[in-house]
Chain A
Amino acid sequence: MTPHESTSGGSSTRFDPWYDHYAHRTAGLSASEVRALFAVASRPEVVSLAGGMPYVSALSPDLVTSSLERVMRDSGPTALQYGSGQGTPELREHILEIMALEGIRGSVDDVVVTTGSQQALDLVTKLFIDPGDVILAEAPSYVGAIGVFRSYQAEVAHVMMDEDGLIPQALRETIARLQAEGKRIKFLYTIPTFHNPAGVTLTWERRLEVLEICKANDILVLEDNPYGLLYFDTPPPHAMRSIEEDGVIYLGSFSKTFAPGFRVGWALAPHAIREKLILANESATLCPSSFSQFAITEYLRSSDWKGQIDAFRDVYRSRRDAMLSSLQEHLPEMEWTVPNGGFYVWLRLPSTLDSKEMLPRAVKELVAYTPGTAFFADGGGRQMMRLSFCYPNEETIRTGIRRLTSVINGELELLKTFATSGPVVTGQVPAVEPVHVTSPPPNIN
């Protein structure tokens, strides 16, 4: 196909001469109206409860600047050079120290530094997934993971959750069903601590049980833990990797505890997998950013980084409280999760509403959220939405919830107007009823 193919009437174009050349796995890579609607979230008038941007302004600019200056002064030529595909040994030592806070013990040799933990997710999926292989994931699951899984043509099977995280019995049943169908399950992808988007945490007892189930069925566990250190009230249970070494690949990140702009994360993997991860990492990017690794190493070496994480906790705790109290004030009849850490509240709307369909109305009312469908690979989640409290301040969050209330009420009124005309279809009904995390409305004093 050429850009200007001749026809009897003149010429035709599809504006992409390579349209028929793309790989099948790119099928989902297209601009959508929902994505375009999110463009307004960058306007200052809009309260965005959509994105998961860490509040990096809580970092001391002087501290970051002095770290960067020291990197250039003391290690400039090395920091600006290519580095190892595994990451610098110094940073990997620090990473061990950080993981120890969540009960993880490992070898510096088994840590692979990546370009954000998102790249680690991509590499692990690349290593294990052939088209049609099954990945188990919570219902809902991280939108960025679903995108990666889709790009490798995996089949994502969602597993039910409740307020205590993944439900072991549901996991057993899902595995049994898939095995009976002859499907090949490669790994369980889980965010056990301060789940994105659900905000809940897998209990210690369930961690043990989930690991046992996976071990019994030869299923690898991919534990994604970017939020574990950002607890508000009590520390969460130790990481699943602290219990099981051989069957767990652990993903960590500096994006939430320091800054996402450096794009540094890591994987801690059993050594055979680690070897392949390093090779895959070199193949993908040659090496993670040397400069970012040096900068983070210097920051960890010379600053009170644990104190900084405490400061982040204080900020996010206060914002969570603002969101929960505002929900309680304006939407007491709804259900939502009460996170003890992380960035997100998961809200359930009245059954007639569809959060994706409602988004244009929200744009008009100058508030943005993430529709629940983003977190399901099977079209579920229409009744749900993710609300982020990490970036806007308390007052802005309260304004956002007020506006969201108006959006919901407007939508309910519209549907009521048409209710007598028969069923108004607000979206396709998912093949499998999605299971959502619920909890009683919080008691906020």
Chain B
Amino acid sequence: MDEFTPSSVLILAGGISHERDVSLRSGRRIADSLRSQGVTVELRDPDATLFAYLESRQPDVVWPALHGAGGEDGSLRGLLDFVGVPFVGSRADASRMAWDKPTAKALVSRASVPTPRSIALSRDTFRDLGAVNVLDRISAELSGPVVVKPAQGGSAQGVTIVDDPADLATAMVHAYRYGDVALVEQKIAGTEISVCVIDTGDGPVAVSPVEIEPISGFYSFEARYNAGETRFYTPARISDEVAARASEAAITAHETLRLRHISRMDFMVDGAGTPFFLEASVMPGLTETSLFPRALEVAGHDVGWAYLALCQAALRDARA
């Protein structure tokens, strides 16, 4: 316990995004963990009463455990920063960059971390240039299986793996139901891993990579949130050298995107052992079936202690 140990933490969970349910589950798990450390925790759905609440109750730290739009796009974090409330996680500008997958890929790629070849397209592009023309061009340029996903969002919502170009249009339509921009990305065959990054004040540390092996073959929403549908290997079944490379890439991505406190980087490791950056999460899922707490546990950390340390870091940053 030190002067930066918060006595009260407000966890914001829920919100109005497609990932509301996941956020509520994450929020409850964070609350349990922090309470185990003796912290007084309140869980709230952010709404019109939020700022009146912050003014009257003045929690030491806020943890925006919001996934999806409103939570990870930086909007709420910007407001918290603006009114001077210490909070866990990345600041608004960094969140915005990481939240937008094409932007994150471009920035991380410039920092020499490989990322699968891809193209981001707005819905209007298909309307203006003709869907057939654009689809044909994509299929010609990105041969082999591709992954189509909304440019923003998580939990694999709106994501389709396309093996046959004839299915590309359906996949694009599916992605556009979640947002106006979609990303078409070359699918890398290999091992799917995630690297969690945590920074409690001494610089970002990559936790040992976790390998994801969905029973169905696709790490879908259902595979993520139904216990038993995915097997996680910790550490991943990759060589020490590849694991080190992935960890290094995760730290590079975390720093390049100017993320803070906590992030999760997703990679595909190809047959040659090269980790390809797929996307970053500024508020990784912290549910009972999520990677982040699992990776911490296996690395020997007490999850409650780690979450408390993140709150302390938030308080320290605010007072710096």
Interface string of A1-34 (1 = CB under 8 A from B): 0001001111111111001000000000011110
Asked whether A9 lies within 8 Å of B173 as measured between CB atoms, the reply is no
- Is A43 in contact with chain B by the CB < 8 A criterion? yes
Asked whether A19 lies within 8 Å of B21 as measured between CB atoms, the reply is no
Given contacts A40-B16, A363-B18, contact A424 B228 (CB under 8 A): no
Given contacts A31-B222, A422-B166, contact A11 B298 (CB under 8 A): yes
Asked whether A16 lies within 8 Å of B228 as measured between CB atoms, the reply is yes
Interface string of B136-160 (1 = CB under 8 A from A): 0000000000000000000101100
Residues of B within 8 A of A363 (CB): 18
Closest to A20 in B: B228
Residues of B within 8 A of A379 (CB): none
Please measure, in the bound complex, the distance between the C-alpha atom of A357 and the C-alpha atom of B21, giving whole angstroms: 18
Question: What class of interface size applies to chain B in its complex with A?
Answer: 35 or more
Interface residues of B in 11-39 (CB under 8 A from A): 14, 16-22, 24
Asked whether B158 lies within 8 Å of A14 as measured between CB atoms, the reply is no
Asked whether A360 lies within 8 Å of B237 as measured between CB atoms, the reply is no
Asked whether B288 lies within 8 Å of A15 as measured between CB atoms, the reply is yes
Asked whether A357 lies within 8 Å of B227 as measured between CB atoms, the reply is no
Residues of B within 8 A of A40 (CB): 16-18, 20
Residues of A within 8 A of B177 (CB): 357-358, 360-361, 411, 414
- Is B55 in contact with chain A by the CB < 8 A criterion? no
Residues of B within 8 A of A432 (CB): none
Measured CB to CB, the closest approach of chain B to A131, in angstroms, equals: 22
Residues of B within 8 A of A8 (CB): 237
Question: What class of interface size applies to chain A in its complex with B?
Answer: 35 or more
Closest to B124 in A: A417
Asked whether B173 lies within 8 Å of A36 as measured between CB atoms, the reply is no
Asked whether A46 lies within 8 Å of B221 as measured between CB atoms, the reply is no
Residues of B within 8 A of A426 (CB): 170, 173
Asked whether A360 lies within 8 Å of B158 as measured between CB atoms, the reply is yes
Asked whether B228 lies within 8 Å of A14 as measured between CB atoms, the reply is yes
Please measure, in the bound complex, the distance between the C-alpha atom of A37 and the C-alpha atom of B178, giving whole angstroms: 12
Please measure, in the bound complex, the distance between the C-alpha atom of A424 and the C-alpha atom of B176, giving whole angstroms: 13
Please measure, in the bound complex, the distance between the C-alpha atom of A432 and the C-alpha atom of B227, giving whole angstroms: 33
Asked whether A36 lies within 8 Å of B294 as measured between CB atoms, the reply is no
Q: Select which of B16, B18, B130, B208 is within 8 A of A360 by beta carbon.
A: B18
Please measure, in the bound complex, the distance between the C-alpha atom of A16 and the C-alpha atom of B232, giving whole angstroms: 11
Residues of A within 8 A of B19 (CB): 36
Asked whether B176 lies within 8 Å of A421 as measured between CB atoms, the reply is no
Residues of B within 8 A of A39 (CB): 14, 20-21, 24
Which among A12, A36, A363 has the greatest number of chain B C-beta atoms within 10 A? A36
> What are 9 A-B contacts with C-beta separation under 8 Å?
A14-B229, A36-B19, A36-B21, A39-B14, A39-B21, A358-B177, A414-B123, A417-B126, A421-B135
Known contacts A12-B232, A13-B232, A43-B14; 16 additional CB pairs below 8 A are A7-B237, A12-B233, A13-B231, A14-B230, A14-B232, A33-B221, A35-B21, A36-B18, A36-B21, A37-B21, A39-B14, A43-B20, A360-B157, A360-B158, A366-B16, A421-B132
